[in-house]
């Protein structure tokens, strides 16, 4: 039988390769033990999964503190079994692993209670970089030389993630890269970004 999505998320967040994700992006600190905390919240049922109505993945940061937080999963990735559990349709792709890390980064931001100091652009920028660190660590190819990385959010985040993995950026993402990526990322409703705790 195909794996439960919940278990796939926990397994991903606890994978040893998550150690490569360790950086600061503006006020957002992203680190392996934080993802282990998110995995525990998934395990304990503080974060639950549902199939997305629009096919997009998202984590509900605007849920009230102490309430169950909803993580929506694309219907391309999961299906509901006869017991109501969400199961993977197939083994996770590199893209889907990156999506798990992206949404888990928002859960980490919520866990850290970034209530006032994290703009939607900062929240998304750090999640983009984290997701690309995961994709590259799991074997997605690096950008080829000569590719213009400056015009698209995912390309820019992939370029920055490569610099982190190569040790050119040791921990703090430089302000010029933060500003550039913040200007490129796509955000949903800015009112959704309420990081007031899980």
The pLDDT-based confidence of 1 (bands split at 50, 70, 90) is: low
Cβ atoms of 28 and 113 within 8 Å: the answer is: no
Strands 23-25 and 28-30, by their bridges, are antiparallel
3-state DSSP assignment of residue 71: strand
**Spans of all domains in the chain:** 5-186
Nearest to 23, CA basis, from 154, 174, 156: 174
Cβ atoms of 138 and 94 within 8 Å: the answer is: yes
Looking up tokens 């200007």 gives 183
Biggest alpha carbon–alpha carbon distance for the chain = 50
Beta strands in the chain (DSSP E): 23-25, 28-30, 47-51, 58-59, 69-73, 78-80, 86-88
Distances (CA, A) of 73 to 59, 89, 158: 9, 12, 23
Strand arrangement, sheet containing 69-73: 47-51, 69-73, 58-59
3-state DSSP assignment of residue 9: helix
Question: Does residue 8 surpass a pLDDT of 60?
Answer: yes
pLDDT digits (tens, 9 = 90+) for 153-198: 999 999 999 999 999 999 999 999 999 999 999 898 888 888 888 8
The pLDDT-based confidence of 2 (bands split at 50, 70, 90) is: confident
For CA atoms 24, 29, 34, 38, give the dihedral sign.
negative
Cβ atoms of 97 and 135 within 8 Å: the answer is: yes
pLDDT digits (tens, 9 = 90+) for 95-123: 999 999 999 999 999 999 887 779 999 99
The Cα 148–Cα 159 span in angstroms is 10
- Averaged pLDDT for residues 130-146: 95
Cβ atoms of 1 and 88 within 8 Å: the answer is: no
pLDDT digits (tens, 9 = 90+) for 66-100: 889 999 999 999 999 999 999 999 999 999 999 99
Tokens of 138: 């799991």
The Cα 136–Cα 31 span in angstroms is 16
pLDDT digits (tens, 9 = 90+) for 32-76: 999 999 999 999 999 999 999 788 899 988 888 888 999 999 999
Question: Does residue 146 surpass a pLDDT of 90?
Answer: no
């Amino acid at each position: 039988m195909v794996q439960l999505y919940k278990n796939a998320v926990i397994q991903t967040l606890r994978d040893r390769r998550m150690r490569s994700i360790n950086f600061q992006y503006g006020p957002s600190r992203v680190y392996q033990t934080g993802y282990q905390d998110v995995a525990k919240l998934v395990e304990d049922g503080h974060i639950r999964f549902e199939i997305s109505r629009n096919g997009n993945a998202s984590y509900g940061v605007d849920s009230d503190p102490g309430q169950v937080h909803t993580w929506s999963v694309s219907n391309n990735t999961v299906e509901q079994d006869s017991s109501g559990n969400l199961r993977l349709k197939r083994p996770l792709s590199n893209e889907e692993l990156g999506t798990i890390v992206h949404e888990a980064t928002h859960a980490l931001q919520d866990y850290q209670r970034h209530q006032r100091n994290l703009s939607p652009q900062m929240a998304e920028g750090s999640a983009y970089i984290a997701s690309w660190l995961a994709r590259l660590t799991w074997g997605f190819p690096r950008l080829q030389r000569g590719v213009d990385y400056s015009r698209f959010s995912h390309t820019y985040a992939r370029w920055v993630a490569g610099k982190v993995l190569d040790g050119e950026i040791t921990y703090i993402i430089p302000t010029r890269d933060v500003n550039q990526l913040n200007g490129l990322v796509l955000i949903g409703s800015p009112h959704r970004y309420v990081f007031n705790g899980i």
